[in-house]
Structure 1
Amino acid sequence: TGQRAVTISKVVSALIILIIGFWLSTPLKKRIGAVSARFFHVTAPGVVLIEKIFHIMVFISLVIFALITVKIPLTVFAFMGGALAIGVGFGAQNLINNFISGLILLLEQPIKTEDIIEIDGMTGTVVSIGARCSQVKRFDGIDILVPNSEFLQKNVINWTLSDSLLRLTIKFGVAYGSPTRNVSQIVRHVLEEHGKILKNPEPVVLFDDFGDSALIFIVNFWVNVDPELNNRIIASDFRHMLTKRLAEAGIVIAFPQRDVHLDTATPLQVSLVQSSLPSVLGQQPTVE
C-alpha cells in the first residue's frame, strides 16, 4: 500500500536510528565486558567474545527495530533474499570465512592475546583478535594483519599455548686437541652466570660429534618467553660470554680448514722439452 511503501525519508530515518543505536551501544558493550571480567572472572579472550556477540545482537535488534519504527515491512526484502544470498555467497565468502574463523578462535582459544606465535616463518606477539583479522606484532616492531582463516588453515606454532617456557639450542665447535671435559665445564659456568637462563629445567651440555674440522658441542637450555625481549638476544649474549670464557682458557673455536700433505718419498722431476708449435721468436723450451 502507499502508507507502507519504502521512501527516501523512511530509509534516512532507519539509518539515523541505526547510527544512534550503535553510538549508544558502544559504551554499554565496554561496560558489559568490564563487568564480565571483574565479577565473573572471564578471561580476556572471553571478554572479547562476549563483546562481539553483544555487538551482533545489537545490530540485528537495531535493524528490526528501525524497520518496524519507520513502518517498512520486512516482506519488502523477501524478494531480494535469493539474490542477496547469492551475492553474499560469492562476493563476501572470504569476509564471512574470516568472521567465523574469528569466532572459532575466541571459542576454542588455540591462540590468545599476548601469545607468541609463529606462522609462515613470521614470529610475533598477538596484539588483538578482530572480526576479520588479527594483529600480530613482530619482534622488530612491525605490525602484521593476519586474516583469521589463516590460523585455522595453516600450521601455527604457539610458543605459549601451555606454558611460557621455550628451549633454545646453541651449537658450536672447538679445535681438535681441546680438552673436552674442560669445555663442558666452561659452558656450565656460563649457563649459571647468565641471568635469563632457567635452572629448572636443567640445561644440558652434549659432546655431540667429531666434525670434519671441529669437536661439536650442543647446548640446550630453557628460558621464559618474554614478549618484550627477543629470545635471539639471550642466545647472542650467551655466545658472547662463551666466546670470552673459551678464549681466556686458551680454547680455540674451530673454523673450516683443510690440510694438504705432500708425498716427499720421491723427488719431483722437472724436465725441459721443445714446444711443438713454432713461435714468432723461434722455438721456446717448455717446462714440464
Structure 2
Amino acid sequence: MQAASTPAEETPTFAPVDQDPIGAEGFDPVALAGQIWDYRLFRVGDTEVAVSQIVIAVLVLVAGVLAARLIATRVGQRVLPRMRVNKGAASALQAILYYTLLAVAVMIALQVAGVPLTVFTLFGGIVALGVGFGSQNIVSNFISGLIILIERPISVGDLVVIDDKMGTVKRIGARATHIEDYLGTTVIIPNSYILENRISNLWLPTSRVRSSVTVGVAYGSDTALVTRLLEQAVHENDRVLNDRESAVLFTDFADSALVFETHFWIQPKNTLDKLTIESKIRYRIDELFREHKVQIPFPQRDTNLKTDQPIEVRLAGNKG
C-alpha cells in the first residue's frame, strides 16, 4: 500500500495580479481613476492587496504617528504636571506613551493594508539577519533607551558626570541621550554607552550636591584663622544650604603651602550654576584673606651659588 502524502504548508507568496487598469472602451478619466484605485498590486497568499489599501494604510500610519505625537505631548505638558509628576518621570512616561501609540498605529496600518501576520514569519529570517549584521547598534541603543526610560538611572534635567565631563540631561531619545555642558555644547551619547559604563548622577536621589573648594596658604599662617575665614566665606553665600552640614578640612602639607578644603551643599540648576557658586565662594575667600593678611603662596625655587670656589666663565665667539 502506498502511504497518502500530506500537503505541504503554504507560505505567503507575492504574485502580481493580471489586470488591465485602463480597459478597451476608450479614455474615461473617472473610470481610469476607479480602475487604478481598485488595481491589485500583488497577492499575499490568498489575499490580494490593492492600491486603495496601500494608500489608506499609509494615510492611517501618518495620521497615527501625528496623533501619537500630539497625544503624548499633551499628556506630558498638561496632564502629568497636574498629577505632580516630576520632570524626569514625566519625560519617561511621555516617551513610553508615544512608542506604545506608534506600535498600535503600525498594527492598524498593516490590518488596513490586508497584510496578514504570517508575512512576518516569511521575512523573519531576513530581518534577523539584517539586525545581526547592520542594525545591531541601532536595536541595542533603542532597547537601552527603553530601559533608561523605565528604570530611570538618569532623567531629563539631571546633573550627570560622564567620562569626567559634567552636563545636564536635556533629552532621552530612542537612539541617544543629549547632554549639555556648561559651555552650552550638546554632547550626543548612545543609550547603550550609558548603560554599559559608569555614570555619576549628582541629582540621585535628590538634586542637592556636595561641592568643595580647595585653597593653599603660606607656611606659618594661623590655621585657626584660616579655618574661620573659610567657614565665613561659605556661610555668607546664600546659595549654600544651611540645613546641611559644611566642613573645613586641613588636608595636606604641600611643597609650598598648607592645603585646606571646604565642603558644602548646594542645589544648582545646571552645570554652569554649580561652577558659578563655587567661583563666588573663591572670590570671597580671596577678599577675606587680603583683609586678614593671609598669604596664598605660589611655587618658587631658591638658587644658591657656591662662592668658596671660583666661577669658571667661558666666552663664546666666532671661529676664524
Normalising by the smaller structure, the TM-score range is 0.7 to 0.9
Kept in 1, the 8 Å contact 2:218–2:258? The answer is yes
Shift of 1:77: 4.9
Match of 1:158 in 2: 201
Residues 35 and 258 of structure 1, relative CA distance in 2, 3 Å threshold: closer
Distance verdict in 2 for CA 1:247–1:12, change over 3 Å: same
The 3-state SS of whatever aligns with 1:250 is coil
Q: Is the 8 A contact 1:10 1:72 kept in 2?
A: no
For 2:310 and 2:70, locate their aligned partners in 1 and report how far apart those are by CA, in whole Å: 97
Question: 1: distance between equivalents of 2:309 and 2:68?
Answer: 96
Q: CA deviation at 1:129?
A: 1.4
Kindly tell me: are residues 101 and 5 of structure 1, through their superposed partners in 2, closer, same or farther at Cα, counting changes over 3 Å?
A: same
Confirm or deny: 8 A CA contact 1:36 1:47 kept in the other structure: no
Give the corresponding residue for 1:120: 163
Compute the displacement of 1:196 (Å): 2.0
> Which residue of 2 is the match for residue 98 of structure 1?
141
1:217-260 Cα deviation digits (max 9, x unpaired) = 22222222322743222222222211121122122111122345
Deviation at 1:40, TM superposition (A): 5.5
Number of aligned positions between the proteins: 272
For residues 286 and 69 of structure 2, the distance between their equivalents in structure 1, rounded to whole angstroms, comes to: 57
Aligned AA for 1:23? L
Partner of 1:208: 251
> Residues of 1 paired with 2:267 and 2:86: CA distance?
22
The residue that corresponds to 2:130 in the other structure is: 87
Distance 1:51 1:226, change over 3 A: closer
Match of 2:232 among 181, 189, 204: 189
Query: Structure 1 residues 86 and 196, CA, compared in 2 at 3 Å: closer, same or farther?
Result: same
> Amino acid of the residue matched to residue 70 of structure 2?
P
Is residue 2:195 matched to residue 1:149? no
Distance, in Å, in 2 between the alignment partners of 1:34 and 1:233 is: 31
Partners of 1:187 and 1:197 in 2: CA distance? 13
How much does 1:14 deviate? Answer: 2.3
**1-side partners of 2:107 and 2:207: how far apart?**
47
1:1-288 equivalence runs, <5 A: 2=17, 4-6=47-49, 10-33=53-76, 37=80, 42-227=85-270, 229-260=272-303, 267-268=308-309
The alpha carbon displacement at 1:210 in A equals: 2.8
**Normalization by structure 1: what TM-score?**
0.80
- Answer yes or no: is the 8 Å Cα contact 2:159–2:271 preserved in 1: no
TM-score by length of 2: 0.73
Distance (whole Å) between structure 1 residues aligned to residue 82 and residue 165 of structure 2: 37
For 1:179, give the aligned amino acid.
D
Alignment-mate amino acid for residue 280 of structure 2 = D
Contact 1:170 1:235 in 2 (8 A): yes
* Bigger mean CA offset, 71-80 vs 133-142: 71-80
Name the aligned partner's letter for residue 220 of structure 2. G
What do you get for the CA RMSD once the two structures are aligned?
A: 3.1
Give the secondary structure class of the aligned counterpart of 1:212: coil
Relative distance call for 1:191 and 1:54 in structure 2 (3 A) is closer
1:206 is matched by which residue type in structure 2? L
Q: Is the 8 A contact 2:167 2:179 kept in 1?
A: yes
Distance, in Å, in 2 between the alignment partners of 1:270 and 1:225 is: 61
- Cα 1:38/1:178, change in 2 over 3 Å: closer
Structure 2 CA distance for aligned equivalents of residues 188 and 53 of structure 1: 47
Which has the higher mean CA deviation after the structures are superposed, 100-109 or 75-84?
75-84
Secondary structure in structure 2 of the residue aligned to 1:79: helix
- CA separation in 1, counterparts of 2:277 and 2:234? 11
SS of the aligned residue for 2:48 comes to coil
Unaligned runs of 5+ in 2: 1-14, 18-39, 41-46, 313-318
Report the alpha carbon displacement of residue 8 of structure 1 after superposing the two structures with TM.
Answer: 5.1
Shift of 1:160: 0.3
Tell me how far 1:45 sits from its aligned partner.
Answer: 4.4
Change (3 A) 1:85 1:230: same
Distance in 1 (CA, whole Å) between partners of 2:101 and 2:311 is 98
In structure 2, the partner of 1:285 is none
Give CA deviations for 1:186-242 in whole Å, capped at 9, x if unaligned. 222222222222333232222333332222222222222322743222222222211
**Residue type of the alignment partner of 2:281:** F
Paired with 1:107 and 1:67, the residues of 2 have a C-alpha distance of 28
